[in-house]
Amino acid sequence: MELARRRGFIWPSFEIYGGVGGFYDFGPLGSILKNKIIQKWREFYLIGENFFEIDSPSILPEEVLKASGHVDHFVDAMVECKKCGNSFKAVDVAREATGKDIEGMKESEMDEFFAKNGVRCPDCGGELGKVFLFNSMFRTTIGPGSQRVGYLRPETAQGIFIDFKRLQRHARGKLPFGVIQIGKGYRNEISPRQGIIRLREFTMAEAEVFFDPENPHHPNFSRLADERIRLWRAEDQIKGEEKLVEVTAKEAVEKNYIHNELIAYYAALTKKFLVELGIPETAIRFREQKPWQRAHYSSETWDAEVHTERFGWVEVTGIANRTDYDLSRHAKFSGEDLTMVVGEEGRKVLCHVVEPSYGIDRPLYCVLEHAYTEEDDRKYLKLKKWLAPVEVGVFPLLKRDGLPEKAMQVQSLLRSRGLLAEYDDSGSIGRRYARADEIGTPYCVTIDHQTLEDNTVTVRDRDTTKQIRVPIERLPELLTSLLRDEIDFEGAGTPVKK
Ligand SMILES: [Zn+2]
């Protein structure tokens, strides 16, 4: 986190006014990294899955969220300290004070639990008031002086359900079909204390996969059937056993660990996505939510979790079976027919939905933590090359003899070919390499006196620190291939002896 702040990945928001918990800015490097993660997600879902994308408002009128159940059910149990007035999530206070999990208890049972265990305010030791429910949506009004209530959206999914009538026409009667939306979501967390892991405003990438409940299959299931996933089933959690079963997606369905083929498919796809971002397989597991942990709309939910040193296991994706809950509720509340006519027989179907819902901010943190490497006297970010916010560092060996001018030409050449190349001439070459390592720049190009003679430069590899010498004219193509892992570094040019 220190490095992430210092080098411009993540900054606390509103810093000069003392900051506000639960909000973070992405700095110059963080913004690029975040956009690259989003772009990769699009490659998986828009291109790979052949889904449609929409972009709908992030303020929703109250009737939408009444229908979706969020006005009644998007609540957290909280307590307030009678002495200092600070408020807390009831389950967090209980866990911190006793190590016990009180999730799923009624408010009165929580009160009893607190009294019996003598739980007091974690900030000042004062007496706690009664547990009450707090709706964690941000409320606003739409229009000046208007009585029309609106909320900042708690999920992007609702925008997709609302557009279902038009979307199903776009799908031309074919099931399953999927729709994605990427954008901000909001949750008025009671007391966010986990940095970027618990945000009040966050970026989500959600896919709603509409399917026929009489044919709950993914047409390309075989493509991921042999992908291995590690599952922590609800029944083992309830028994208190931290036991992971490792199975293929196919076995997960056959053994009925996962009750829906589409959920198994999207779990396997999520694993592939996380591995693509550079998260090791051994740090990924899927945790089934216990019945009382599930959202009000879900009949089965599996969370992809990534292990981190700082926060332990972090939920990064939720894959839920939303059944026909949303479409049937919106049909009822709006009075519109939200069924779909399917196939040649013209059967009317009320679609069911499986939803893979990704946070973007949390995986970004996990990527940074897993990339951070300390080796001997080196510290570097071992980011996947394609993810690096600076793809190429361009350095003149010295700040004289025409080397800076030549280096700036090389930078322009690389930028004109779409590469994120950054020029740096401050400090010794060793310090510049160290700075580039720290932000995960995979390749550094150095312009030296030999460059002026024969138009060749050295290229240094971040992970091995080995160097090769190559002609400038080959540089754009070579670096592009290297960044895509299409060619081997050492064979790409003449090795340079140190
Ligand atoms: Zn207090």
Q: Which domains are delineated in the chain?
A: 2-71+137-370 (3.30.930.10), 75-135 (3.30.40.230), 378-495 (3.40.50.800)
Q: What type of residue sits at position 201?
A: E
Kindly list the protein residues that place their beta carbon closer than 5 angstroms to ligand 1, a single-atom ion. 81, 83-84, 121, 123-124, 126
Rounded to two decimals, what is the model's pTM?
Answer: 0.94
Ligand 1 centroid to residue 80 C-alpha, Å: 8
Enumerate the β-bridge partners of residue 211.
Answer: 352
Residue 366 backbone phi and psi in degrees, to 5: -60, -40
Low-confidence residues of the chain, pLDDT below 70? Answer: 498
- The first and second tokens of residue 346, run together, are 């013209």
What is the phi/psi pair of residue 61, to 5°?
-65, 155
For residues 145-170, one letter each, b for 16 or more C-beta atoms within 10 angstroms of the residue's C-beta and e for the rest, the string is eeeeebbbbbbbbbbbbbbbeebbee
- Ligand 1 center from residue 123 Cα (angstroms): 5
Q: 494 CA to middle of ligand 1, Å?
A: 66
CA of 1 to the centre of ligand 1 (A): 28
Cα 192 to ligand 1 centroid, rounded to whole Å: 16
Strands lying side by side in the sheet with 139-141: 59-61, 149-152, 139-141
Quote the DSSP letter at residue 81.
B
Residues 329 and 68: their CA atoms lie apart, in Å, by 7
Q: Ligand 1 center to residue 139 CA distance, Å?
A: 27
The one-letter amino acid at 367: V
| Cα 82 to ligand 1 centre (Å) | 7
Residue 121 C-alpha to ligand 1 middle, in angstroms?
5
Query: 202 CA distance to ligand 1 centroid (A)?
Result: 28
Q: How far is ligand 1, taken at its centre, from the CA of residue 333, in Å?
A: 43
| Ligand 1 midpoint to CA 88 (Å) | 10
pLDDT at position 166, please? 96
Phi-psi bin for 14: left (phi > 0), alpha (psi -120 to 50), beta? Answer: left
Cα 138 to ligand 1 centroid, rounded to whole Å: 25
Rounded distance, CA 32 to CA 35, Å? 5
Region of residue 99 (phi > 0: left; psi between -120 and 50: alpha; otherwise: beta): left
**Distance (Å, whole) CA 36 – CA 385:** 11
Residue 16: C-alpha distances to residues 6, 19, 30, 452 (Å): 16, 7, 20, 47
Task: Give me ligand 1 centre to Cα 86, in Å.
Answer: 6
Q: For the residues of 266-332, what is the DSSP string, one character each?
A: HHHHHHHHHHHTT--GGGEEEEEPPGGGS-TT-SEEEEEEEEETTTEEEEEEEEEEEETHHHHHHHH
Q: What is the pLDDT of residue 150?
A: 96
How far apart are the CA of 127 and the centre of ligand 1, in A? 7
